[in-house]
Amino acid sequence: MQALVFDKSKTDWATSKGFELVNIPEPTLTAGDGDKIILKVAYAGVCGTDRGIWNRQAFKDAILNSLDAQIQTGGNPYRIIGHEFFGEITQVGSKVKDLNVGDMVACESHVVCNQCYQCLHGQKNVCTNEKILGISVDGGFAEYAKVPAQVAWKVDLNKIRPEVAVLHEPFGNAVHAASKVDLKGKTVAIFGLGPIASFLVLIARGLGAKTIIGVEPNDKAIEMGKKLGVDEVIKIAPGKDYHSDKSVIQKIMQSTNGLGVDIAFEMAGFNNSVNNAIASVRRGGEVILFGLKNGDFTFEDYNKLVMKGITMHCVAGRQIWGTWEITKKLFEDKQNQVAEKLWSVLLDSGKGTILDIGSYSKEKFEQMLAQHPKFLIKF
C-alpha cells in the first residue's frame, strides 16, 4: 500500500523536510490484535501538527523516541504520519464487540490506557500513558490503517458527507475549547484564525456569542473568517518577541467601549499572542489557551494578570466521548449550516483542497500547505 512516512533509517530529522511516499505491506491482524481493527482510509486531513512535522518544528522527541523503542523490539524504522482520518472497517479483532466490517468510522487520535488516574476520573484527554496516532504510533496517511477499536467513532454517511466526516477529530478540539465557557451573549476575541479557530467561529456563533473579533496576519485566513461569521477582523503583524501588540489591544478596547472582551481564545501558540489575549480580556474575564509551542513563555506584567482576576483554561484534545457527541449533533443538523460551511468555505467545495495520493509529490504538498489552511488527502 501507499503511505506517507518519516523514515528514521533513511532521513535525518535535523537536515530534512517533508514526508516520503513509500510502498509498504498492508497491516494485518495478528494473534495479539484482538482489540484492533483495520480500516480502508477514504480521506485524511492535514492539520497544523502535520505542518509542524513536515517542517521539523514539532514532535521531534515523541516521534524519534517512539521509533527508537519500536526498532529495539524489531519494529519498522518509519512512522506513518496522520492523525485525522476516516474510512471503512475491513477487519475486526476477535475481542471487538460494537464494530463490524463495513462500518464507516472517524478516529480519535489519542490512544488512552483506560487505567491511569485521569482515565478513571473522566479526564481521558490528558491520559498519563497516552499514545498519539501519527506521532507515537502509526497513523492514517496510508491506504489502510490498523488502530485500536476504542478510537473508532461510527459515522452515518446518509447524514454527513465523507469530506466533512474526516473533520470530526479536529472539530472536536474547537468544541472542547468552546465548552470551557458560556458563550451566549458574550463578546469574544479569537487570536489566530487557522483551521481550528475557523471551527471555533462556527461554534461560537451557533452558541450565541454576541460579537466575534478575529486577530490574524494572513489575508486568506482573514477572508475565510469573515465568510464563517467573524464580525470584526484586526490584521496583526507577526510578533518577534513576547510583547503584546498595543495597537491591536487599543482597537479591541475601542470596539468594546474600553471594557475588553469577555472571553479571549488564544489559538496560535505564540508568546506575544498569549499576552495579547490576556491584555484584551476584561477584568474578571476568561482566557482559553489552545495554541501550542514548545519552550518557555513570558507573561507580560504578571501583577496585572493576577489583579485583573482573569480565569485561564488550558485545553488539550477532545473530551472522550463528550465532544464527539456534540460534534455529531452539529454536523448532522442541516439547519445550522455548520457542515455546509465546512465544505463550501473551509474546503472550498473541494476546489484544489483535495490531494489524491497518486498525485503526491513533495513539491505539490508544499504548495498546498502554502495555499490552503486545510486540505485533505484522498486514498
pLDDT digits (tens, 9 = 90+) for 205-230: 999 999 999 999 999 999 999 999 99
Grid coordinates 485545553 are at which residue?
Answer: 315
In a domain, 120, yes or no: yes
| Structural domain includes residue 175 | no
CA distance 279 to 250: 10
What CATH number is attached to the domain comprising 274?
A: 3.40.50.720
Q: Looking at the structure, do residues 161 and 200 belong to the same domain, yes or no? A: no
Give the CATH number for residue 32: 3.90.180.10
Spatial contact of 313 and 288, defined as CB atoms under 8 Å apart: yes
- How far is 122 from 41, CA to CA, in rounded Å? 30
In angstroms, the CA 22 to CA 326 distance is: 37
Pairing state between β 375-378 and 354-356: parallel
Overall domain count for the chain = 2
Residues 12, 156 within the same domain: yes
Full domain range(s) for residue 15: 2-170+319-378
Residue 165 sits in the same domain as residue 243: no
* Of 177, 214, 173, residue with least CA distance to 45: 173
Question: Looking at the structure, do residues 305 and 333 belong to the same domain, yes or no?
Answer: no
pLDDT of residue 150: 98
Task: Clarify whether residues 27 and 89 are in a common domain.
Answer: yes
The pLDDT tens digits for 26-84 are 999 999 999 999 999 999 999 989 999 999 999 999 999 999 999 999 999 999 999 99
The pairing of strands 20-23 and 2-7 is antiparallel
Question: Based on the domain organization, do 234 and 127 belong to the same domain?
Answer: no
| Residue 176 within any structural domain of the chain | no
Question: CB within 8 A of 156, min separation 6: which ones?
Answer: 104, 332
Over residues 162-211, the pLDDT tens digits come to 999 999 999 999 999 999 999 999 999 999 999 999 999 999 999 999 99
- On whether both 127 and 194 belong to a single domain, the answer is no
What pLDDT was estimated at residue 191? Answer: 98
pTM, rounded to two decimals: 0.94
- Whether 54 and 159 map to the same domain: the answer is yes
Q: What is the CA radius of gyration of the chain?
A: 21
